[in-house]
Each structure stands twice: as C-alpha cells, then as structure tokens.
Chain A
C-alpha cells in the first residue's frame, strides 16, 4: 500500500505541474514551411576559410554568369548557317516585319488538332498588311493546288495561313531583306 500511495502522490504533483505548464506556457509551434520558419541567424561556421578577392579568379566567375540581355549581332560578312541579318532602308517600303528579340524572323508553324492541322503564322507586321498578303499569295499559290486560305489580322499585325509554308515564307522574307 505504501508504494501505491507514493505513486499516487508523485503522479498528483506531476499532473499539477503539467497542467500549470500546459495552460500558461505552452504555445503550439509548427514550422511547416519555408516562409513561416524562423530566420537562420548567427550560424556558427566551424570550417576555416579564406576570403579572396582576386581578379584572376573573378574573371572565371564572370565568364559563366548568364548574360542579362540578348547579345548584339556581330558584323559578319558571311553566314554559314542559314541566318541572314535584317537589311536596312525599310523606310520607303509599304510594310515592315520586325525581327524578334533573338534577331530571328517571326514566322512560326502552329500544329493543331493533334498534328492534323498545320498553320503558318507571321507576326510583327507593320504597315500595309493587305499588300503583304497579296504578294505572299502570289509567291505561295503555285506551291498549292487548292486556293490559299489566309487570315489577316490588321489590328494584331499577324497573318495566319493554312498549311506549312514556314520555310518558303522565311526564304521570301530574306530575299526581300526583311
């Protein structure tokens, strides 16, 4: 019996202390994310290290950092790849097609209906879009038996046409210095 009473006594004390602590001091804390975790401050780094500021080493760091903008086109006489930079003197032409920020011609192929429907898509057209449409039709119509279907969006400056004529259009635009 004495052990029983001792146990009861100690458990009573334990319960009281627990109750006290639970009611007043315990606040549940759960860091379940990056943003509501406390900030790591004053980290003790045990490893010894040397802080260097050598321009020789920094040259290699700068070499591998990604450039913030697209590089300028270099002055080059011959391009072995099929790239051709845009010509000048477009001021007096009735329409203009700007290059993309990557210096490329904004003509794309859009494949829809799980590869069934192919659309050629020209962007960034300024000026007389209807004249461009006529000239393109004159160039592309011999390649197709059916009449070409073209959708001209004057407001957005785009022409969408049925069929894959991307390489032909790019070739024609390069020939005309765009």
Chain B
C-alpha cells in the first residue's frame, strides 16, 4: 500500500462517484439571479415611474384580451407567404439596360452573353447566399430592343423572348446552382482559389419543369421543339421570324453550354492557373466519370 498523497488521492477516487451531468455544479458566477437592487440608482423606481398605473397596473402580454379568444387566434391561419424567404430570387435586368450595355461596349454582343459577361460589366450584382439565382430579364424597353444577341438568362417572360427573337437573336433560360454562381460572379477570384471548375447541378424538382419547357426556351428542352416554338411565338406576336440558319453569325447564335458546364469552352473539373497561364486537366478515370455530363 503506497503512502504518498497522490496514491491516497487515487485510492479515494476509486470509491467516489463518477463525474457526470447529474452531479456537477455550475461554475461560480454562471447563474446570475435577476435581482432588483434596492439602492442601485439612489433608490429610485427602477423604470416604473412614479405612482399610478406604471407601478400598480398589471400590463398584460401583447394580444391578451383578459380571457377572450384573442384577435390573433380568432381566425384560421392562412400562410400565403410561407417559405417566401427560401424562394429563389432573380434580380431584374431590363432589356433597356442590356441595350445600353451593348451600345456602350460593356457587353460584347459578338460573343454569347451569359451571367458571367453581365457580372463582368460591374453594373449588375447578385448575391447567391441571399437566394439570388441569376438574371431576370425584364421587358422594360422591349419595343426598342434591337440587339442581335445570343443571351442566356435565368428567367424571362414571353414578351422578352419575343423581343429578343424579333431582333434576330436567341435566348436560353438556364439554371445554375449556388456553387456554380459563386464561381461565376467573379471568375478571377474563383480561378485564384485554385480549385476545379464545379460541374453544374441539375435544377431542383420545382424548377425542372421551367428549364425543360421549350416555350420558356429552357436549356434542357428539345432543340427541335424550341425551333417550333420560335415560329409559334412569332405568329402570336406578329413578326417575321429572322432565319438564323442563313445568318452569317449562325455559329455565334447557336453556341450553347453543356448542361453540366458553367463557362463556355471550359470543362468542369479543370483547374485554371492564371499565373502560369496553364490549365490542369484531371486524368483519373473516376474524376473523368464524375465530371462527365
């Protein structure tokens, strides 16, 4: 049997109960009892004022009607805006603004216009972390719109689609998930992070219908259906549909991204090195399979 203090303490510990949530005590000072200090501010009334209702009356909680069925509980709940804070938002960009961007050389109409080129103007912003999912092209200035563009937006009305197609251009609506958007909003910053270009995710179930609808020019729709709908829309709005097959900019107007691609010409999985001006392409079979569309 040992005789040192440490041995005695260890011996004692064997017979003591284990420390657990049931028998530990709060840290000293952890629990503070709310006390109304009698002489705290020279013995005044602690915010209750002098005499009368302030000191003596019982102020009931908000909405309480002394035993009546309260007004705020009297009617059934009608949650019109339930989940509105979770819905996808598309900050607007008008056709008039787009026209201005093209005319003042902020956007190059000789290349396909997408979210990246609109963000690169510095005149339009989106915040993916605030549930903003891209551009909503609005119809302001639709009558004056005269730019032949190949534009890809995230949301567009029928009138907008008609005015873009009337001007001889093409429009696509495409979905980007938040990680892809984060890469697109500042490409330089993204490439400097040195991570592979993400593959674009498929739209969520409530958006897949929109993005595979040829009337909405969805990027997942059948191209033949889209060309049919182009003609239908031109007849509805009463304009002669420009023939893009015979257009000299046919390759520009028909350039489309792969559904898994977020940048034109750059495959997901590639790492762009801006310093050495090189592109690293993965060779592993599993990575190739992961990034394939």
Contact = CB atoms under 8 A, between A and B. Distances in A.
Interface size grouping (class) on chain A: 35 or more
B100 A58 contact: no
Contact of A71 (B10, B106, B279): B106
A12 B7 CA distance: 7
A73 B104 contact: yes
A161 B191 CA distance: 46
A79 B103 contact: yes
Contacts of A71: 104-106
Given A5-B2, A47-B287, 13 more contacts: A47-B282, A53-B277, A53-B278, A57-B265, A59-B265, A61-B266, A61-B279, A64-B120, A64-B263, A65-B188, A81-B144, A83-B104, A102-B104
A49 interface: yes
A83 B280 contact: no
Interface residues of B, number: 45
Contacts of B274: 61
B264 A64 contact: yes
Contacts of A63: 111, 264-265
Given A57-B265, A63-B111, A81-B141, A49 B104 contact: no
Interface string A22-65: 00000000000000000000000001111111100111110111
B104 A103 contact: yes
B284 interface: yes
Interface string B266-293: 1000011010011111111001000000
A120 B16 CA distance: 80
Nearest to B185: A66
Among B263, B271, B281, B287, which residue has the most Cβ atoms of chain A within 10 A? B281
Contacts of B182: none
Nearest to A55: B277
Nearest to A85: B104
A74 B100 CA distance: 12
Interface of A: 1, 4-5, 7-9, 11-12, 15, 47-54, 57-61, 63-67, 70-74, 76, 79-81, 83, 102-103
Nearest to B270: A57
B271 to A, nearest CB: 8
Nearest to B286: A47
B187 A64 contact: yes
B116 interface: yes
A139 B145 CA distance: 31
A88 B237 CA distance: 42
Contacts of A11: 6-7, 10
Interface of B: 1-2, 4, 6-7, 10-11, 96, 99-100, 103-106, 111, 116-117, 119-120, 122-123, 141, 144-146, 186-188, 191, 263-266, 271-272, 274, 277-284, 287
B99 A81 contact: yes
11 contacts: A8-B2, A8-B11, A52-B279, A52-B281, A57-B266, A66-B119, A66-B120, A70-B106, A74-B103, A80-B144, A102-B123
A54 B99 CA distance: 34
Contacts of B280: 49-52
Contacts of B264: 60, 63-64
Given A15-B6, A65-B188, A83 B105 contact: no
A103 to B, nearest CB: 6
A48 B122 CA distance: 37
B283 A48 contact: yes
Contacts of B281: 49-50, 52
Given A53-B278, A66-B186, A80 B284 contact: no
B158 to A, nearest CB: 22
B102 to A, nearest CB: 9
B283 A51 contact: no
B122 A66 contact: yes
Contacts of A79: 103
Contacts of B188: 65-66
A53 B274 CA distance: 11
Contacts of B106: 70-71
Contact of B263 (A1, A49, A60): A60
Given A48-B284, A61-B272, A12 B1 contact: no
B139 to A, nearest CB: 15
Contacts of B11: 4, 8
Contacts of B271: 49
